[in-house]
Amino acid sequence: MDKNRQIEYWINSAKHDLEVAETLFKTGKYDWCLFIAHLVLEKTLKSCYVQNRGLFPPRIHDLVRLARMADIELDEDTSEFLDSVNTFNISTRYPDEKLQFYKLCTREFTLENF
């Protein structure tokens, strides 16, 4: 797959996932909304990686690491935000953290972070 098609793939996939996240928010599935929102950012950063590096992106999920590997300079606030969003990916995957994350994901918390 050439560079432009890879970028298009990641962007289209991120757009699709954004629609899913919006639907999950509207239906009150706040924990999954934030999980999918993480995927939106991950896929967007992967498109940047392809754009900036000309390579297929690494199979990682850490947004801060991915942004840095894509040669994106992050200010401290953005880096901290992406680091906090990383927890949305982890917290929905593991049973011992899932219930705690579910309780955290009120409408207000999700609205602020989404």
What pLDDT digit, counting tens, does each position of 23-46 carry?
A: 999 999 999 999 999 999 999 999
Topology (CATH) of 3-113: Four Helix Bundle (Hemerythrin (Met), subunit A) (1.20.120)
The answer to whether the pTM exceeds 0.85 is yes
**Residue 78 pLDDT class (50, 70, 90 cuts):** very high
**Residue scoring higher pLDDT (101 or 92):** 101
Q: Which residues, 6+ apart, have CB-to-CB distance to 38 below 8 Å?
A: 61, 63, 85, 86, 88, 89
The per-residue pLDDT for 93 is 74
Using the predicted structure, report yes or no on whether residue 102 has a pLDDT greater than 80. yes
Q: How many CA atoms lie within 13 A of 104 on its CB side?
A: 15
Helix, strand, or coil (residue 67)? helix
Residue 59, pLDDT > 80, answer yes
